[in-house]
Every structure is written in structure tokens, then in C-alpha cells.
Amino acid sequence: MESRKPRINVARRTRQWLLAPLVVITLAFGWRYPLVGFIVPLVMVIGLIGGVIRGRYVCGNWCPRGSFLDRVVSLVSPKRPIPDFLRGSAFRWTLVAVLMGLMVYRISLNPGDIMHWGRVFWMMCLITTAIGVSLALFLHPRAWCSICPMGTMQNALGGHKHQLKIDASACTSCGLCARACPFGLAPVEHRDHGIMEDRDCLKCAECTAACPVGALSWPGEQDKRGSEQAA
């Protein structure tokens, strides 16, 4: 039997190609023009606000580094499974404390100089991007996202919100949703519960685009379709 390839979310991928250069711009110019470094806290704030509303939606759809990892680094990644210990809460929250503590400490060395703040943000972007690319080259393109402090916070703030719906009666267990997921999650494993329970779901809609039978949908999406058909 010929294996089927999952369909792709074209709109999301186009958006990611537009966002990915922000990582390169920040790293290339932030050391010389520190104000460029403020792209980092801007993205952080957007991520936290988005986290309250839809969990890791920003990670999956609007994060420049996530876009860079998905579209560029994934081309050379071996795409191995992300180890369980990286997904564990103990390791993740330890890293949150370490990286956030380092950032605050560095800023405290010269808190009155806004250029110093910009350099610190640039340095944090450099360190975390280096870790992210290294993990991608040895493991999985989104391995960094399993331990990213912003992702961990978004998980905690709203990982239970806007959960993917799974129609078990329609699902054929073809596995295309798992193959399409950029984070290595498998919605099919949650079919009996009717929702994607994993709080790290990026809400990227790659799985809904890939599902050949329409078994996956977002809250309110089916009601909207029904209204359109009735009209």
C-alpha cells in the first residue's frame, strides 16, 4: 500500500518564512545596535499574553525562533524523538529559573543603561538560539521548544485552553496527524478522550490540515461549519 503524505498548512508556513529572518536580524545586528535586542522581550510579552488565552498558540504560529527551527534548521535535523527528560517539568522549570535568573542578574549590573538592557537581551537570544540549533542538529527541530522558558510558561498559563477536538468515530488511526506535528506529538493517542490533552500542543493546525477525514477540529470550528452549510 502506498503511504500517504500529510497535507500541509500553507498559510502557517508562509507566515513562518516571513518571521524566521527576525532571528537572523536580531543576532546579526543586536550586538552592534543594542536596541534591536528589544525584539526579544517583545516576543516574550506577546508569548505570555497569548499563553493566557490559548496556551502555546504563539509558539506554534508566531514565534520567530520556532519559525526559524521549523523552516530552516529542520532541513538538516535528523528529527529524532525528543527525550522524555527534556519534556519533564522538573528539568524545564529548573531551566526557567536558571535562564531568567541569569537575565535579571546581567541587567542588574547596569540597570540604568537601556543599551545595556538591549545587549543582555541579545546575549540571551544568542545563548538560547545556540542551544536550540545544537539540539535540532542532534535530535529534533523543536527539541529546544520542549524546554524553552516561554513555552513552559505558556504551557502552565493556558495549556488546557483551546484544546484540539478529536472525533473518535471518524478517526482511522492513519497516523498522518503525528507525522505532521512539528513537535512530535500524536493526537491519535488521545482519540478516546475526544481532545488533545497534551498541554504542549502548539495549536499550529498542521494536524488538522493533514487529517484526510476531518476528524480533528478546534473549538467552535464545527459549529461554524454547520452554520455556513445551513446558510
**pTM for the whole thing?**
0.90
Q: What is the pLDDT of residue 224?
A: 53
CA–CA dist 28, 57 (Å, integer): 27
Closest CA to 82 of 4, 182, 177: 182
Q: Three-class SS of residue 195?
A: strand
Q: Which amino acid is at 175?
A: G
Q: Which amino acid is at 141?
A: P
Decide: 46 and 61 in contact? Cβ < 8 Å: no
CA–CA dist 65, 193 (Å, integer): 32
Q: Which amino acid is at 103?
A: M
Residue that has been written with the C-alpha cell 529559573 in this structure: 97
Q: What is the pLDDT of residue 222?
A: 59
Q: What is the pLDDT of residue 5?
A: 67
Q: What is the pLDDT of residue 1?
A: 37
Which segments in the chain show pLDDT lower than 70?
1-6, 222-231
Around 94, how many Cα atoms within 13 Å sit in the side-chain half-sphere? 7
Closest CA to 194 of 230, 229, 166: 166
Q: What is the pLDDT of residue 221?
A: 73
